[in-house]
Amino acid sequence: MSKCVVVDTTKSPWARLRPVPVNTVKLRDSFWMKRIEVLRKVTIPTQYEKLEETGRIENFRKVARGDKDIIWRIADDSDVYKWVEAAAFTLAYEYDPSIERMLEEVVEAISSAQDEDGYLFTYYAYDRGSRWSDLMRMHELYCAGHLFQAAIAYYRATGRDKLLNTAIRLADHIADVFGPDRRSGAPGHPEIEMALVEMYRQTGREKYLELAEFFLDQRGKGLLGGDIVLIDHKPFRELDSMVGHAVRAIYLCCGATDIYLETGDESLYSTLERLWRSMMKRMYITGGVGSRYHGEAFGEDYELPNVRAYAETCAAVANVMWNWRMLMATGEARFTDVIETVIYNGALSGISLDGKRYFYVNPLADRGGHRREEWFSCACCPPNIARLLASLPGYFYSTNSEGIWIHFYTSSTSSIELNGRMIGLIQETRYPWEGRVKLEVNPEKSDMFSLFIRIPEWCEEVKIIVEGKEFKRRILPGTYLKIEKDWDYGDTVEVFMSIKPMLMISHPHVLGNTDRVAIRRGPIVYCLEHVDNPGFDVWNIIVPPDVQLREDFRPELLNGVVMVRGRAFVIDSKVWKSKLYLPLRNMPLEFSEVEFRAIPYYAWANREPGPMIVWLRSLMPKIPPERTRACRLSS
């Protein structure tokens, strides 16, 4: 039985970092402990119920029984697989007999539905002739990939190989059908690429890695109609920007990164680097990506509408998955910064505080109509956010031969294997609400190694005290600070990050954010919600650029959050009546002065509905004459 890690780069020749198992970290009273508890107690069981209610699990049993009354939806199998993956990580993190029972039932159902030749996809259970006939629209390979990931997580969590054997039989079947000398074909929805690489890591069978490369290289040949939404308009290595369906595009990048981690193919890495830089111009401040409803797709650079943000929860999850792989490949903190932004904002908004309602779409402004739902007919997002949260303890640390990499901060006790020895590591912190982190390092015996301490990119002031002595070297935000020493049991490192609310602005080509500011405090992006600001319409606020922001922790509010307050102006949009456009000289100029209250974006829409907004109108700083220069017109 392997250890239950998220992406097993332990032996990947091109990986800079190695993972730690999800049960390495035991969260203590902290931001994440509450969420993971709700996940185990509410999310996993209620999703199981939904999967049963909607016939998704029963579909497998029906196939096993030969019952033809199947409810046909092309991605239903994958919802079950993602739930299995989430439940397996949950179980690996903390044993729970009820989850174990559910898992066994579901695994039994899945395995029983496999055809003799290894084929497994309930949609075509009785239609042998149609199998693999429409890779563009049918989600056979996508579902297969999710089965592989589920099977691996279940095996790593429990040591039981029933589902892994099912996965292997299906993978072998797919390898019999597709390949350079066999059938060509590109999956309409990428996913199988990264799953095949993980199957290779799990089983050592090189044909799975080769098949992943094969599928990657099938794109851009017109097998998917040359469709840009399906990322078929160009070969992968020729892509120069992140385009197409966001989840598909990022899953494809995950697969390509996984292939790079095993093969060291530089043409892949340079493509990934280019695409990542492109994505950085197409990402919301929340880490949400895929701004277009149309095609659930990436927009152009700076195309980031707020009300009509699509920013699918699945795309945020995918964003974490890809950046994690890039981090494993490089050890560069810019990827960790993205992960942190996403998990505290654009992904976490996808699930309610009570753990049983979900956003598919994550707007950054709303009039009050957008609410989380218990389930969707296309139910990809709920189990996807569940598997991200369930595996989250596996994201806090990595190791390499030099030492331990600390990616994220949370109160926790951990026991990390480093070069064959166990290192205890205790974090004490109220992060993300406060920036002080006390680390206690407890090696089995005195040991020389490095701690790589991540300094978040947003953190412009930081102080580090090692065993009572201030660390004197210059500390750069957006890097890992390496502290190499001979560690004794009980040694401490204290990290003091200045967490203050800051006003953020956007690149001027984000046209909808012109003269708007967003409040960010540490990794958390804030929003104004009507329920906290009943005296005015939060869309009508004008925040002075020199606003004094006050902050206080409210333990009773939204499971405990720091609320940010300040004074601002509001206009009265009602005076516009039915007018949509007015001459500037007739602009209504009546302002009220109000106190506003901001809450973390992830927590919005957990109370009464009402307007919400992240990007607040501000006042342009006056143009100082000395900063102005005359410019010749070239014609």
Helices 97-112, 76-93: axis angle to 10 degrees equals 150
Decide: is 528 part of the binding site for a second copy (CB under 8 A): no
Binding mask 258-277 for a second copy (x = CB under 8 A): -------------------x
Q: Which of 479, 514, 559, 606 binds a second copy (CB under 8 A)?
A: 514
Binding window for a second copy (CB under 8 A); candidates: 42-50, 130-138, 323-331, 576-584 = 576-584
> Measured between alpha carbons, how far is 404 from 385 in angstroms, rounded to an integer?
27
CB of 32 to a second copy, least distance (A): 24
Decide: is 633 part of the binding site for a second copy (CB under 8 A): yes
Size of the site for a second copy (CB under 8 A): 82
Burial of 595 (0-12, 13-18, 19+ CB in 10 A): exposed
Decide: is 280 part of the binding site for a second copy (CB under 8 A): yes
Helix (H, G, I), strand (E, B) or coil at 7: coil
Binding window for a second copy (CB under 8 A); candidates: 44-52, 199-207, 422-430, 529-537 = 529-537
CB of 531 to a second copy, least distance (A): 9
The 3-class SS string of 318-387 reads HHHHHHHHHHHHHCCHHHHHHHHHHHHHHCHHHECCCCCCECCCCCCEECCCCCCECCCCCCCHHHHHHH
Decide: is 488 part of the binding site for a second copy (CB under 8 A): no
CB of 507 to a second copy, least distance (A): 5
Enumerate residues 6+ apart whose C-beta is below 8 A from 70: 55, 59, 62, 63, 122, 123, 125, 126
Enumerate residues 6+ apart whose C-beta is below 8 A from 483: 450, 451, 452, 453, 464, 466, 471, 493
Decide: is 534 part of the binding site for a second copy (CB under 8 A): yes
Binding window for a second copy (CB under 8 A); candidates: 11-19, 245-253, 351-359, 625-633 = 625-633
Decide: is 300 part of the binding site for a second copy (CB under 8 A): yes
Q: Which of 515, 557, 563, 606 binds a second copy (CB under 8 A)?
A: 515
* Residue 159, token pair as written in the block: 């040591």
> Measured between alpha carbons, how far is 595 from 91 in angstroms, rounded to an integer?
46
Binding window for a second copy (CB under 8 A); candidates: 66-74, 210-218, 553-561, 584-592 = 584-592
Looking at beta carbons only, is 469 or 627 nearer to a second copy? Answer: 627
Binding window for a second copy (CB under 8 A); candidates: 114-122, 208-216, 295-303, 404-412 = 295-303
Binding mask 76-115 for a second copy (x = CB under 8 A): ----------------------------------------
Decide: is 592 part of the binding site for a second copy (CB under 8 A): yes
- With vertex at residue 354, the alpha carbon angle to CA 349 and CA 356, rounded to the nearest 5 degrees, is 80
Looking at beta carbons only, is 124 or 536 nearer to a second copy? Answer: 536
Decide: is 556 part of the binding site for a second copy (CB under 8 A): no
CB of 140 to a second copy, least distance (A): 27
CB of 366 to a second copy, least distance (A): 10
Total number of residues shown for the chain: 635
Q: Which of 11, 128, 371, 509 binds a second copy (CB under 8 A)?
A: 509
Alpha-carbon distances, residue 203 vs 171, 446, 632 (angstroms) = 11, 36, 67
Q: Which of 512, 563, 606, 607 binds a second copy (CB under 8 A)?
A: 512
Decide: is 334 part of the binding site for a second copy (CB under 8 A): no
Burial of 623 (0-12, 13-18, 19+ CB in 10 A): exposed
Looking at beta carbons only, is 509 or 550 nearer to a second copy? Answer: 509
> Strand 18-19 to strand 561-571: parallel, antiparallel, or no bridges (unpaired)?
unpaired
Near a second copy in 598-617, by CB under 8 A: 615, 617
Q: Which of 95, 293, 489, 553 binds a second copy (CB under 8 A)?
A: 293
CB of 160 to a second copy, least distance (A): 44
Looking at beta carbons only, is 377 or 623 nearer to a second copy? Answer: 623
Q: Which of 568, 525, 520 is nearest to 548 (CA)?
A: 568
> Measured between alpha carbons, how far is 533 from 611 in angstroms, rounded to an integer?
10
Q: Are 561 and 599 in contact (CB under 8 A)?
A: yes
> Strand 462-466 to strand 469-470: parallel, antiparallel, or no bridges (unpaired)?
antiparallel
| CA-based end-to-end distance of the chain | 73
> Measured between alpha carbons, how far is 330 from 337 in angstroms, rounded to an integer?
14
> Measured between alpha carbons, how far is 524 from 491 in angstroms, rounded to an integer?
30
Binding window for a second copy (CB under 8 A); candidates: 174-182, 207-215, 351-359, 580-588 = 580-588
Q: Are 109 and 166 in contact (CB under 8 A)?
A: no
> Strand 616-618 to strand 591-600: parallel, antiparallel, or no bridges (unpaired)?
unpaired
DSSP 406: E
CB of 70 to a second copy, least distance (A): 23
Binding window for a second copy (CB under 8 A); candidates: 134-142, 280-288, 349-357, 472-480 = 280-288
Decide: is 294 part of the binding site for a second copy (CB under 8 A): yes
Near a second copy in 363-382, by CB under 8 A: 365, 367
Near a second copy in 434-473, by CB under 8 A: 460
Q: Which of 66, 420, 468, 583 binds a second copy (CB under 8 A)?
A: 583
CB of 607 to a second copy, least distance (A): 13
Looking at beta carbons only, is 45 or 477 nearer to a second copy? Answer: 477
CB of 635 to a second copy, least distance (A): 6
CB of 424 to a second copy, least distance (A): 37
> Strand 403-406 to strand 447-455: parallel, antiparallel, or no bridges (unpaired)?
parallel
Decide: is 503 part of the binding site for a second copy (CB under 8 A): yes
Give pairs for 440-443: CB < 8 Å, separation 24+: 440/490, 440/491, 440/492, 441/487, 441/489, 441/490, 441/491, 441/492, 441/493, 442/489, 442/490, 443/487, 443/488, 443/489
Residue that has been written with the tokens 């659930």 in this structure? 296
